[in-house]
């Protein structure tokens, strides 16, 4: 990506983030804010899609293509969770987000040891939810998404397996901060709820931007100038 293209991309994402937060504070219509949110996600997807189609398999390592697949799946998940809304699109959205984290897990090399850790972590969480009488399909899927993302973030920073870029590590960590913010937001009310809600997209858009940049500037690729 040329310096001009990078500047336009970052400015547009920054502007959309500002509009989203202003819209929430100023009480803009929910649908208008959701459109702004999805536009920010869609820009990432379009950029990755353009690169993916023009780079070709000869210039892209298979492991790097997994990042592109995850970004495409993220756009599909956000279609339900953001554009349609959590009220109606939670189930398909959270299932797709679980697939996003599974793709990232494959990108980070899913060993038998790590798989067993993931299973044990998820099983213990299900037991905890059951003991708290909070076990349901939506809660189980939400916990699965969170645990997959948590382990992905930890693995990304470990000096083993796939050598990931600093951009990807930062992006997946911000992604985790976003998920934690959503969890804490749902457990709070009043001013604390509003404060944490403000943080969700502060973490989410930068997470997707940095993961997108990690794909565009992968050490295995030569970024297109456009």
219 CB burial (10 A radius; 0-12, 13-18, 19+): exposed
| Residues in the chain, pLDDT under 70 | 1, 55-62, 160-162, 219-226
Q: How far apart are CA 209 and CA 215, in angstroms?
A: 10
Do 151 and 172 form a contact (C-beta atoms < 8 A)?
no
What was the pLDDT predicted at 225? Answer: 44
Q: Which of 139, 159, 163 lies closest to 90, judged by CA?
A: 139
pTM, two decimal places:
0.90
What was the pLDDT predicted at 190? Answer: 82
What was the pLDDT predicted at 143? Answer: 93
pLDDT in tens, 170-225: 999 999 999 999 988 888 888 888 889 899 999 999 999 999 999 998 744 544 44
Do 97 and 110 form a contact (C-beta atoms < 8 A)?
no
What was the pLDDT predicted at 218? Answer: 78
How many angstroms separate the Cα of 184 from the Cα of each of 14, 69, 188, 192?
24, 29, 6, 9
SS3 label, residue 140: helix
For the chain, give the longest Cα–Cα distance.
55
Do 175 and 211 form a contact (C-beta atoms < 8 A)?
yes
């Amino acid at each position: 990506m040329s310096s001009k293209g990078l500047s336009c991309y970052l400015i547009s994402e920054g502007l959309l983030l500002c509009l989203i937060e202003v819209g929430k504070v100023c009480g803009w219509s929910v649908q208008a804010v959701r459109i702004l949110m999805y536009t920010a996600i869609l820009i990432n997807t379009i950029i990755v899609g353009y690169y993916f189609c023009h780079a070709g398999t000869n210039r892209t390592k298979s492991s790097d293509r997994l990042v592109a697949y995850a970004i495409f799946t993220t756009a599909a998940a956000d279609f339900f969770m953001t554009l349609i809304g959590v009220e109606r699109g939670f189930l398909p959205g959270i299932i797709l987000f679980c697939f996003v984290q599974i793709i990232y897990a494959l990108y980070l090399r899913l060993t038998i040891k790590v798989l067993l850790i993931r299973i044990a972590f998820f099983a213990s969480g299900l037991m905890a939810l059951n003991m708290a009488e909070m076990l349901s399909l939506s809660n189980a899927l939400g916990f699965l998404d969170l645990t997959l993302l948590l382990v992905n973030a930890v693995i990304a920073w470990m000096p083993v397996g796939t050598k990931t870029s600093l951009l990807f590590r930062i992006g997946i960590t911000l992604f985790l901060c976003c998920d934690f913010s959503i969890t804490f937001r749902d457990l709070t009310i009043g001013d604390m709820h509003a404060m944490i809600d403000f943080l969700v997209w502060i973490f989410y858009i930068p997470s997707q931007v940095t993961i997108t940049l990690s794909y565009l500037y992968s050490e295995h690729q030569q970024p297109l100038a456009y």
